[in-house]
Amino acid sequence: MPQPLVRFAEVSKSYYRGAEEIHALRNVTLTIEEGSFIVITGPSGSGKSTLLHVAASLDMPNKGTVFFREEDIFSFTNREQARFRRQNLGFVFQFFNLIPTLNAIQNTSLPLLLDGVSKRNADARAEELLSSLGMEDRLQHKPHEMSGGQMQRVAVARALIANPALILADEPTGNLDSESGAEVLALLKKAAKDHGAAVALVTHDTEAAEIGDRRISIQDGRVMSSVLTS
């Protein structure tokens, strides 16, 4: 039986701009199972990024509960939330968010160094992971010496290096041509499976939407459909 990793129970999130209330999420109930790959699609402004932020405890809902392995993540203190993110989550962004002065190994190993792993061990793990993502010839390259697809592969390696249970990826192919985008997604899917990590991927790319186990479509903050695709 697949176990729930993340569970949203009737979650609503509004933003207020003056007197205006913007409903970013409306009564969202969904489950991300351990090790599963879910793809979230929907028009611009429909609440996709908000959903990822709430799942990461970066943004607090006005109503409802978010569970991670059946623990209410908004019952955590700020310190506990920070630890929860460090130990369990990996992030991949549209604009890569790599550190320009660091090479591929250094960008990838950084989360481990911050966690107190020795440089030698951290670098060895980074090298292994980067190589599994086809980056063995670019280990010493800095971001400006890489293509977009290569930068995103480094970002995938960095997201996975601490063995997270969940990777949150917001439009990771938004800045890539369709070929390198498809390549990055295939690598992300395989690497996540190999590490037993679940993935929540937000995308506008209709082809990318096919690669998940489940596809969730949201509109105006509401989950319109949630379909198994594999």
Ligand X SMILES: Nc1ncnc2c1ncn2[C@@H]1O[C@H](COP(=O)(O)OP(=O)(O)OP(=O)(O)O)[C@@H](O)[C@H]1O
Residues of this chain that bind Mg ion (CB under 5 A): 49
Helix (H) or strand (E) holding 191: helix 178-195
Q: Which residue's CB is nearer to ligand X, number 109 or number 203?
A: 203
Residues 6+ apart with CB under 8 A from 78: none
Nearer to ligand X, 132 or 219 (CB): 219
Q: What's the start-to-end Cα distance of the chain, in Å?
A: 16
Task: Name the residue nearer to ligand X (CB basis): 89 or 187.
Answer: 89
45 binds, among ligand X, Mg ion, none (CB under 5 to 8 A by kind): ligand X
Least CB distance to ligand X at residue 154 (A):
23
Q: What SS3 string covers 4-73?
A: EEEEEEEEEEEEEECCEEEEEEEEEEEEEECCCEEEEECCCCCCHHHHHHHHCCCCCCCEEEEEECCEEH
Minimum CB separation from Mg ion for residue 111, in Å? 23
Q: Which of residues 41-80 bind ligand X (CB under 6 A)?
A: 42, 44-50
The residue assigned the tokens 């790959």 is 37
* Residue 23 C-beta: closest distance to ligand X, Å: 8
CB of 49 to Mg ion, least distance (A): 3
Task: For residue 173, state whether it binds ligand X (rule: CB under 6 A).
Answer: no
CB atoms within 10 A of CB 93: 17
Q: Which of 10, 22, 80, 101 binds ligand X (CB under 6 A)?
A: 22
Q: Which two tokens stand for residue 122?
A: 């951290």
**Which residue is it, tokens 């943004």?**
59
Distance between CA 151 and CA 105 in Å, rounded?
A: 12
User: From the list Mg ion, ligand X, none, which binds 47 (C-beta under 5 to 8 Å, kind-based)?
Assistant: ligand X
Strand partners, 33: 4
Residue 181 touches which of ligand X, Mg ion, none (CB < 5 to 8 A by kind)?
A: none
**Cβ closest to ligand X, residue 114 vs residue 224:** 224
Q: Which of 2, 10, 15, 82 binds ligand X (CB under 6 A)?
A: 15
Residues forming the site for ligand X (CB under 6 A): 15, 17, 22, 24, 42, 44-50
